[in-house]
Structure 1
Amino acid sequence: MSFIEWTEEMSVKAPVLDGHHRMIIDCLNQLHPLLETKGDGADIRAVMAKLEDFVLVHFAEEEREMKQAGFPDWRAHKDLHDRMYDVVFSLKSDIERGKVLDARHLFDLLNDWLVTHILGEDQKYVPFIAGHDHQPVAQWRRSNGKDV
């Protein structure tokens, strides 16, 4: 897996959440070479602890923002976060047990998920959180294949 580069296309138009995304990307970019070279275990654990902290803070803040903004699919989005946190926790556990091959696989999964999630799922709440282009909830649900 290659490094993730932040692009404006990833922006959710909320500076705090964009900052979180950048910090998570930075952690993954720090972790990548450490896993590839089987770097120092203490360094890997330190980056993983930072990643886990950022993920927990970010998910909680993003979910709070979605609820406050009236984003109708916030519960489904939270479910995605819960599943991804399980991957982060598994990655951390594999690293702590010295299972580097499994850790690399989980790292690749996490990298792919993060980019896909930011560019796909997170973009769905942008009109609600950014405070522009609001559409009524019923209209949003119809346009996204949800029952009204």
Structure 2
Amino acid sequence: MNFVEWTAEMSVGSDALDDHHKMIIDCLNDLHPLLETHAPEDKVLAVMAKLEDFVLVHFSQEEQDMKRAGYPDWQAHKALHDSMYDVVFALKSDIQNGENVDAQRLFQLIQDWLVTHILGEDRKYVPYMTDPAAKPVAQWKRSNGRDC
């Protein structure tokens, strides 16, 4: 059984972006048993490198799609992506440099980030992706505190 399961509520209305999210979830599911069994560092690094490479591809595609769909807060969303990439890169670098990294904390951090991001932040742009003329059902605050 996988640690993280894809659900329909995670869909953002784009087959390409949904497929990206599924691949990121696959990386987490590959990482989970390695961390539980204290697998060799090179196996953990291989999954982290794959995750790092893939989030770069995904973030770029998602940001382009948000701009194209007219999502008004795409820049704040990009800033979140930049922060998340920094976390993945730093964790991979720590492992490469032989630093002690709490494996369960690492996995929890990445899993929380993924699920929170998809179910929280990514859901905000869904109306724009599925119908660019649609308005969000509820108001939410931008990162700068202003209403949309």
The answer to whether the 8 Å contact 1:28/1:111 transfers is yes
The AA in structure 1 aligned to 2:58 is H
TM-score under structure 2 length normalisation? 0.86
Runs of 4+ in 1 over 2 A off after TM superposition: 97-104, 142-148
Partner residue in 1 for 2:80: 80
Partner residue in 1 for 2:140: 144
Identity %: 62
Return the offset for 1:132.
6.2
TM-score under structure 1 length normalisation? 0.86
Gaps of 5+ in 2: none
Gaps of 5+ in 1: none
Higher helix share: 1
Structure 2 vs 1, CA of residues 120 and 10 (structure 1 numbering), >3 Å: closer, same or farther? same
RMSD: 2.0
The answer to whether the 8 Å contact 1:12/1:122 transfers is yes
Return the offset for 1:30.
0.4
Give the length in aligned residue pairs: 142
The answer to whether the 8 Å contact 1:87/1:106 transfers is no
Partner residue in 2 for 1:34: 34
Return the offset for 1:105.
1.8
Partner residue in 2 for 1:93: 93
Partner residue in 2 for 1:116: 116
Return the offset for 1:59.
0.4
